[in-house]
Amino acid sequence: METLNVALGERSYPIFIGSEGVDQALLAPYIRARQVVVVSNTTVAPLYFERLKDVLPAYDVSSIILPDGEQHKTLEVMDQIYTALLHQRCNRQVTLIALGGGVVGDMCGFAAATYQRGVDFIQLPTTLLAQVDSSVGGKTGVNHALGKNMIGAFYQPQCVVIDTSTLSTLADNQLRAGLAEVIKYGLMQDADFFVWLEQNMAALLNRDEAALMYAIHRSCACKARVVAADEKEAGQRALLNLGHTFGHAIETAMGYGAWLHGEAVAVGMCMAANLSRQQGWLTERAYQRTVALIEAAQLPTQAPREMTVERFLELMSVDKKVMDGQLRLVLLKALGQGVVSHDFSMDLLKETLAAR
């Protein structure tokens, strides 16, 4: 296991990255009492729940199994978690373990933040997207019909354990969706990593173990630095939302689950790069390299045709980065140099939204 640290003072925690699976010795320091509840879904639980239970013989381990899919990331499904915890008479010393992808991690984390005003939880992400992004940093929550991730809390896990062997059962489209978030780190802050991705995308798509381990470690290291500097997104952390304002609008408009999160973010990054180019901030060559890398990851680069400019603007207006009525976007000054800005032309934004 390789170890990174998210430095947040007394709430600091480790990120463990390895391919040898999880054992009790690794988790025990982060579980305070015997009661452990694993929150998973109907896809992941049959694959990994019994294996996890078997490596925790010293604990009373039970499960809460949620339906799989972004469309189930709702307050109504959250209530199932609370009801199960109450039926099982879980107290404030219970530890919740999120076993699954980003939806499971976000919902389990939100349940932990709010059940009896806060209990411990551990992240065991099983998708590439969750491993490189959503499991790290303490963003938890659910979607609303009017906007994605609009209800939630900042609440940090006790630790994150990334077992890369779980990627062997990950569907190809889910792997590609995770690569969108990996590409994001190169675009927003790490130009050398962007070049590495250009050179190694085929290996990542072929699930080369060494390439995946490197990409996960470098992505997590980037996110850990940003979160440590700006836990609650007062400034620098907003850079992690490159492509997300556009992407969240697509997910909301098309219906949660119709587009995978990473697919929508991939299009959003192309749109951000396009607007940055039109602003004169990003060179034509840098824009073309951005689109080419996303295409190499076999991800979409064009917004759905049914998305109108008006619909985009309507949904973007409720984005969490809107401040004092002003829309802020994460744009690019260069490859590896993201910036959060409201200093862009609305006419150029509309042209970007209309382009297909």
Catalytic-residue membership of 144: no
Given this model, what pLDDT does residue 209 score? Answer: 95
Q: Is 342 a catalytic residue?
A: no
Has 117 been annotated as catalytic?
A: yes
Distances in whole angstroms, Cα of residue 134 to Cα of each of 41, 262, 301, 309: 16, 11, 22, 29
Active-site residue identified among 143, 241, 277, 289: 241
Residue 1 has pLDDT above 90, yes or no: no
Please give the average per-residue pLDDT across 236-251, as a whole number. Answer: 95
Calpha distance 157→109 (Å, rounded):
7
Looking at residue 324, its pLDDT comes to 66
Q: What is the mean pLDDT of residues 235-246?
A: 94
Q: Give me the mean pLDDT over the 57-65 stretch.
A: 97
Q: How confident is the model at residue 323 (pLDDT cuts 50, 70, 90)?
A: low
Which of 237, 277, 289, 328 is labelled catalytic? 237
Q: Is 305 a catalytic residue?
A: no
The answer to whether 91 is a known catalytic residue is no
Among residues 344, 297, 290, 149, the alpha carbon closest in space to that of 233 is found at 149
In the residue annotation, 181 being an active-site residue is answered as yes
Mention every residue, 6+ apart, whose C-beta is less than 8 A from residue 171: none
139 flagged as catalytic:
yes
Q: What is the mean pLDDT of residues 314-334?
A: 86
Catalytic site residue from 248, 277, 289, 328: 248
Q: Is the pLDDT of residue 325 over 80?
A: no
Residue 322 scores a pLDDT above 80: no
In the chain, the percentage of residues whose pLDDT exceeds 70 is 99
Torsion of Cα atoms, 64 then 70 then 73 then 76, to 10° = -90
148 is catalytic: no
Per-residue pLDDT, 318:
85
Catalytic residue selected from 70, 73, 149, 181: 181
Give the active site residue among 70, 233, 251, 263: 233
Please identify which of the residues 148, 176, 184, 244 carries the catalytic annotation.
244
Mean pLDDT to the nearest integer, 36-56? 97
User: Which are the contacts of 75, defined by CB distance < 8 A and separation ≥ 6?
Assistant: 142, 151
For the stretch 210-232, pLDDT in tens is 999 999 999 999 999 999 999 99
Distances (CA, A) of 215 to 150, 168, 207: 29, 16, 11
In this prediction, residue 164 has a pLDDT band, given cuts at 50, 70 and 90, of very high
State the residue for tokens 């140099």. 337
**Catalytic one among 87, 89, 117, 356?**
117
Backbone angles phi, psi at 311, to 5 degrees: -70, -40
Summarize pLDDT for 75-112 with one digit per residue, the tens: 999 999 999 999 999 999 999 999 999 999 999 999 99
Write down the pLDDT at residue 32. Answer: 95
Nearest to residue 321, comparing CAs of 342, 349, 346, 300? 342
User: What is the rounded CA–CA span in Å between residue 99 and residue 40?
Assistant: 5
Residue among 39, 126, 44, 24 at smallest CA distance from 77: 39
Amino acid at 50: E
Calpha distance 327→325 (Å, rounded): 7
| Domains in the chain: ranges and CATH | 2-169 (3.40.50.1970), 172-354 (1.20.1090.10)
User: Which of the 8 DSSP states describes residue 4?
Assistant: E
Residue 261 annotated in active site: yes
289 is catalytic: no
pTM, two decimals, is: 0.95
Question: From the candidates 73, 148, 184, 261, which is the catalytic residue?
Answer: 261
Tell me the per-residue pLDDT of 300-316, one tens digit each, with 9 for 90 and over.
999 999 999 999 999 99
Pick from 98, 100, 128, 139: nearest CA to 17: 128
Catalytic residue among 223, 277, 289, 328: 223
The stretch 169-185 carries a mean pLDDT of 97
Which position among 139, 148, 277, 289 bears the catalytic label? 139
Q: Name the residue with tokens 């065991």.
A: 124
| pLDDT surpasses 80 at 321 | no
